[in-house]
Structure 1
Amino acid sequence: MFAPMFSLRTSPRHPLIIPFARHFILKRETPRKPHFFSLHFRSVVSSNNSFGSLLLLLLSKMSLRVLNPNAEVLNKSAALHMNINAAKGLQDVLKTNLGPKGTIKMLVGGAGDIKLTKDGNTLLKEMQIQNPTAIMIARTAVAQDDASGDGTTSTVIFIGELMKQSERYIDEGMHPRVLVDGFDIAKRATLQFLEKFKTPVVMGDEPDKEILKMVARTTVRTKLYESLADQLTDIIVNAVLCIRKPEEAIDLFMVEIMHMRHKFDVDTRLVEGLVLDHGSRHPDMKRRAENCYILTSNVSLEYEKSEVNSGFFYSSAEQREAMVAAERRQVDEKVKKIIELKNKVCSGNDSNFVVINQKGIDPPSLDLLAREGIIALRRAKRRNMERLVLACGGEAVNSVDDLTPECLGWAGLVYEHVLGEEKYTFVENVKNPFSCTILIKGPNDHTIAQIKDAVRDGLRAVKNTLEDEAVVLGAGAFEVAARQYLMNEVKKTVEGRAQLGVEAFADALLVVPKTLAENSGLDTQDVIIALTGEHDKGNIVGLSLNTGEPVDPAMEGIFDNYSVKRQIINSGPVIVSQLLVVDEVIRAGRNMRKPT
């Protein structure tokens, strides 16, 4: 039972461990003096020396190994340094991606598939991270992206910098709890400063499109090259404003992101309508129609089997033919009701009629519709049914009974585009669309994937601005201003060694402008000196990545999301505080109990 005590026999630091262990065993085995061991043990442990604390640590590990001999245990110092090194390692991986001048990572899968990206969210999801601390930080950053749509890379490098600053003070003998208290004070003060620092933006019925474009441009330029980012900015802003309804939450799922491996990335455009990834299934149907009435339906126009297992026994072939005719008659009656509605609304004008059905349409029904000049699409995706109603108007019907013209939507143009073996149906020129499609084009899958990531982040950035009704000056201006505020005002109000925690938090904020400068090939020390000097004079400036000089972010149109900054400041110190107070890492799952 006490064999693990002898594993430290060769330890030069504590030569008294082994004699005490022998005495411990001898007295334990002697039945005549049962109380000597307890008295001696209490006297050793209660003494305030390093030997007593070491003994408690050894006994705790020994008890754990008795329960699970395969358990792995890291003590306080090793656990703390493991957490710090994991945070620093993950920071080193992602910090080169930050900003418009950031580099791109190539991810190679097990099957040899390649993905090129600089999006932090994509990297953290695709990389196979083994370290448990790094996994925890990665999950926090991914949750940041899920909550606010951006800031994944910034969250990781901020957490890594906080851990790096903490290591400096801990190595000098400071207790982690003191740093945690200082971080908590600094976090609350920074959030209060953010409320004062943000720039309010009025977003009424007619929002300021220029501000929205600046926010979207700032986000998209970190993912794509400048000219393409500027082109996508207008597309993204117009798409969000298209689906925006007064006094209702913005649903970005009403923006369909469709891609075509065709032409170049600059051919990406906004379709105020819908693009369906399939075409008609009848050779005689029209491929192009103008002034179209749109019937959005979820009606089965084909014979369906019964829901219960049933069978029919025929005594003659005539009975079977009669049964087939009755089944066919039931479907034909549904089709005739649609044709009657078409004749009612299209008679006497040059209008056309389009049926977009979520369920199936069998070949005989398609033939009947094609004879009447009706374009019919079957098996439309469920997510597109709601988009069709919002884009074209009308109602989605589940039955052909009591069809009225009020159920119909309208589109100025419906046409089919064939690309290789793929067919696409465009529904455009709608009147008052509340749904739209961003059609992404590119020569290869890598380009399309990069544009998709950038478009999604841009949509979230514009949505956040409309909901927050506020923006924050970018280019590192907020981080430098917050650091000056913490050092000049907040630190003076803090008593004791918690001031060092506030100072460490303030220095960690500078990781954003430092990383931006480093990724742009600039000298970080010169940049920080120039920025802090301007802020000391009362000038709110950021970093120009082209010249390396301080600039006014408002004049350059560089704005960040208020909600993203707030989420980073909230989540980063919380994770760091939890990691710093970890005094032991135990790997002792059930699967480790099995003998190797």
Structure 2
Amino acid sequence: MMMGGGRPVIVLNQNTKRESGRKVQLQNINAGKVIADVIRTCLGPRSMLKMLMDPMGGIVMTNDGNAILREITVQHPAAKHMIEIARTQDEEVGDGTTSVVILAGEMLAVAEQFLDAKMHPIVVIQAYRQALEDALEILEKDLSIPLDLEDESKMVDVIRSCIGTKFMGQYGDLACKIALKAVKTIAVEAGGKVEVDVKKWARIEKVPGGSIEDCCVLDGVMFNKDVTHPRMSRRIEKPRVILLDCPLEFKKGESQTDVEISADADFSKMLQLEEDYVKAQCADLIALKPDLIITEKGVSDLAQHYLSKANISVIRRVRKSDNNRISRASGATIVNRTDEIREEDVGTGVGLFEVKKIGDEYFTFLTGCTDPKACTVLLRGPSKDLLNEVERNLQDALAVARNLRLSPAIVAGGGAVEMAVSQALQEKAKSIKGVKQWPYTALAHALEVIPRTLTQNCGGNIIRLLTNLRAKHAAGHKMFGVNGESGELADMQELKIWEPLAVKLQVYKTAVETAVLLLRIDDIVSGSKKMKDDIGGGAMPTEESMMQ
């Protein structure tokens, strides 16, 4: 694109490929359908796993929609956008990544018939936007059930139904308790609002070995470090902790620093100055009588000597994120200069400092904290691949627990809420005048893709089950959905299958907005060379051409 006379001008050369109009819209719809088909079998408790191999030879085995799409390489820009929405969903609410891609693909697919009938895309978009507003209103007012945060059994039910489709489903109670305890530990009330930052304050530490039943939430933090000197104490009860963000060694000059020495005594004097500097640093620290010093930078041999003589344990080169967690758990303030440390900066909230050897590595544990607003989730398991999958599942469980704490409302799972919203939208469609009624109704039908896919994935009779489900909802049984285990109709209230309202709202918003965005595209201009396959035919993209 070039600027000419104040206006952007598209310059087409022999390497520029330009496609426009209906062909582009059909390509985008096709790309959306292909991506949705890739992870369609990953929905529900009977979902299949995908094995992904990266160029480095690493293997990922998972049924987490976001993890699968993250590893796939695609060529088509619309397909790239579909992958991006799974990432958005994961960052916003941490769950529903598979559902959102399947729904967006279906919403694009049902729009194809209207484009075939020469309906303008803007009319379809207006109908979709109106349907989205109505769907969100129905969800919040008619179908959501408020949740009591003190009712732990109900909270466990919601988290279990969200991870029941994952590998961790077989260890449901353990995963639910871990997620609830971790979120409860790091929740902070500020200005009348609850803040829960799972990524920042709850670290997941994977240690191969042991069994999955050994996974737990520590009432404090752990990290992969050992004390700097073998004589330092590896176990201290109720330690006084000092946290530093500065090195305990002489600051080396930059590369431009020049030192001129004229006599042997000058060199000894320079070394003496360095020693005095380190000694002064250690004296500042020893004066506060700490038991444990943790720094993000290096510690010289001389500093180790002085501190170990004073019976102080030292840990160096700790990650910034770990140091922030230790600060929150112990009550210590991270200090940048040793001469600025005051008594109130010393942390006294840790019950026990201990260095343990697990396998071949040393881990530092700071546990028994009085009020830890940060925690570490320790995961044990037989292999690294398994631990990676457990971590992905636990991230989802933590996200669900966080959503429930931030907005305590739930809706029925198992496709029940989709069928209820679909029925309500079909009723509302009767009052809409003009051609908008058709795309509005089509979007209502598109929502049925969730119960349909659930039935398909566990080998149920799709046509019979969906007919019966529609009849149940028409008769007013809003809680009926698909039992993902058996592929039969079931009351979700009895099965205790729930989903957080926040996740459902985000799924609908993201899916409709994505469909709308892709339908508005009527021109693709690419400056790259034509692919060999496209020179002759100009055919619509196939699954093979879009994925490498």
Aligned mates of 2:373, 2:520 — CA distance in 1: 50
Is the contact made by 2:412 and 2:493 (CA closer than 8 Å) also made in structure 1? yes
Is the contact made by 2:168 and 2:393 (CA closer than 8 Å) also made in structure 1? no
> Counterpart of 1:240?
183
- How far the C-alpha of 1:108 sits from its partner, in A, is 0.8
Aligned mates of 2:302, 2:422 — CA distance in 1: 73
- How far the C-alpha of 1:456 sits from its partner, in A, is 1.7
1:396 counterpart (313, 318, 334) = 334
The verdict on how the C-alpha distance between 1:163 and 1:308 changes in structure 2, with shifts beyond 3 A counting, is: closer
Aligned mates of 1:128, 1:308 — CA distance in 2: 43
- How far the C-alpha of 1:66 sits from its partner, in A, is 9.2
Amino acid at match of 1:491: A
Q: In terms of mean alpha carbon deviation, does 435-444 or 66-75 score higher?
A: 66-75
Amino acid at match of 2:410: V
Q: In terms of mean alpha carbon deviation, does 507-516 or 452-461 score higher?
A: 452-461
Amino acid at match of 2:282: V
Aligned mates of 1:170, 1:233 — CA distance in 2: 46
Aligned mates of 1:495, 1:214 — CA distance in 2: 43
The verdict on how the C-alpha distance between 1:242 and 1:581 changes in structure 2, with shifts beyond 3 A counting, is: closer
> Counterpart of 1:573?
512
1:210 counterpart (147, 150, 153) = 153
> Counterpart of 2:538?
none
- How far the C-alpha of 1:187 sits from its partner, in A, is 1.5
Is the contact made by 2:15 and 2:529 (CA closer than 8 Å) also made in structure 1? no
> Counterpart of 2:377?
438
RMSD: 2.5
2:17 counterpart (54, 64, 72) = 72
The verdict on how the C-alpha distance between 1:187 and 1:65 changes in structure 2, with shifts beyond 3 A counting, is: closer
> Counterpart of 2:474?
536
1:526 counterpart (458, 464, 481) = 464
- How far the C-alpha of 1:267 sits from its partner, in A, is 2.0
> Counterpart of 1:127?
72
> Counterpart of 1:151?
96
1:510 counterpart (448, 451, 455) = 448
> Counterpart of 2:232?
285
Q: TM-score scaled to structure 1, two decimals? A: 0.81
Aligned mates of 1:132, 1:404 — CA distance in 2: 57
For residues 341-380 of structure 1, the aligned pairs below 5 Å read 341-342=288-289, 353-380=291-318
Amino acid at match of 2:278: V
- How far the C-alpha of 1:429 sits from its partner, in A, is 0.8
Once the two structures are superposed, residues 271-301 of structure 1 have per-residue CA deviations (whole angstroms, 9 ceiling, x without a partner) of 1111111111211122222222222222321
> Counterpart of 2:541?
none
- How far the C-alpha of 1:172 sits from its partner, in A, is 5.3
Aligned mates of 2:204, 2:243 — CA distance in 1: 21
> Counterpart of 1:42?
none
2:51 counterpart (106, 122, 138) = 106
Aligned mates of 1:119, 1:173 — CA distance in 2: 38
Is the contact made by 1:473 and 1:560 (CA closer than 8 Å) also made in structure 2? yes
Once the two structures are superposed, residues 389-412 of structure 1 have per-residue CA deviations (whole angstroms, 9 ceiling, x without a partner) of 211113222333364443222322
- Please list every run of 5 or more consecutive structure 2 residues that lacks an aligned counterpart in the other structure: 1-8, 536-548
- How far the C-alpha of 1:511 sits from its partner, in A, is 0.7
> Counterpart of 1:90?
35
Once the two structures are superposed, residues 160-180 of structure 1 have per-residue CA deviations (whole angstroms, 9 ceiling, x without a partner) of 111222234544565544433
Give the 3-state SS of the residue equivalent to 2:140 in structure 1.
helix
Amino acid at match of 1:198: S
> Counterpart of 2:279?
332
Aligned mates of 1:380, 1:71 — CA distance in 2: 51
The verdict on how the C-alpha distance between 1:188 and 1:368 changes in structure 2, with shifts beyond 3 A counting, is: same
How many equivalent residue pairs? Answer: 517
2:163 counterpart (207, 212, 220) = 220
More helix by proportion, 1 or 2?
1
> Is 1:201 equivalent to 2:140 in the alignment?
no
* Structure having the higher Rg: 1
The verdict on how the C-alpha distance between 1:75 and 1:408 changes in structure 2, with shifts beyond 3 A counting, is: closer
Q: TM-score scaled to structure 2, two decimals? A: 0.88
Aligned mates of 2:262, 2:21 — CA distance in 1: 86
- How far the C-alpha of 1:107 sits from its partner, in A, is 0.7
Is the contact made by 2:85 and 2:510 (CA closer than 8 Å) also made in structure 1? yes
Give the 3-state SS of the residue equivalent to 1:493 in structure 2.
coil
> Is 1:417 equivalent to 2:370 in the alignment?
no
> Is 1:295 equivalent to 2:242 in the alignment?
yes
Aligned mates of 2:82, 2:340 — CA distance in 1: 57
- How far the C-alpha of 1:255 sits from its partner, in A, is 0.8
> Is 1:231 equivalent to 2:158 in the alignment?
no
Is the contact made by 1:278 and 1:425 (CA closer than 8 Å) also made in structure 2? yes
Give the 3-state SS of the residue equivalent to 1:427 in structure 2.
strand
Once the two structures are superposed, residues 101-129 of structure 1 have per-residue CA deviations (whole angstroms, 9 ceiling, x without a partner) of 21111111123221112111112221001
Aligned mates of 2:118, 2:258 — CA distance in 1: 84
- How far the C-alpha of 1:200 sits from its partner, in A, is 2.0
RCO (CA 8 Å, sep 6+): is it higher in 1 or 2?
Answer: 2
Aligned mates of 1:470, 1:449 — CA distance in 2: 30
Q: In terms of mean alpha carbon deviation, does 477-486 or 410-419 score higher?
A: 410-419
Give the 3-state SS of the residue equivalent to 1:283 in structure 2.
coil
- How far the C-alpha of 1:481 sits from its partner, in A, is 0.4
Aligned mates of 1:574, 1:142 — CA distance in 2: 15
1:166 counterpart (111, 125, 131) = 111
Aligned mates of 1:591, 1:517 — CA distance in 2: 44
- How far the C-alpha of 1:75 sits from its partner, in A, is 5.2
2:131 counterpart (177, 186, 198) = 186
Is the contact made by 1:154 and 1:512 (CA closer than 8 Å) also made in structure 2? yes
2:60 counterpart (112, 115, 127) = 115
Q: In terms of mean alpha carbon deviation, does 88-97 or 259-268 score higher?
A: 259-268
Give the 3-state SS of the residue equivalent to 1:331 in structure 2.
helix
Is the contact made by 1:274 and 1:428 (CA closer than 8 Å) also made in structure 2? yes
Aligned mates of 2:510, 2:55 — CA distance in 1: 33
Give the 3-state SS of the residue equivalent to 1:409 in structure 2.
coil
Aligned mates of 1:305, 1:147 — CA distance in 2: 44
Once the two structures are superposed, residues 227-259 of structure 1 have per-residue CA deviations (whole angstroms, 9 ceiling, x without a partner) of 323311101111011011123422221111111
Aligned mates of 2:147, 2:114 — CA distance in 1: 41
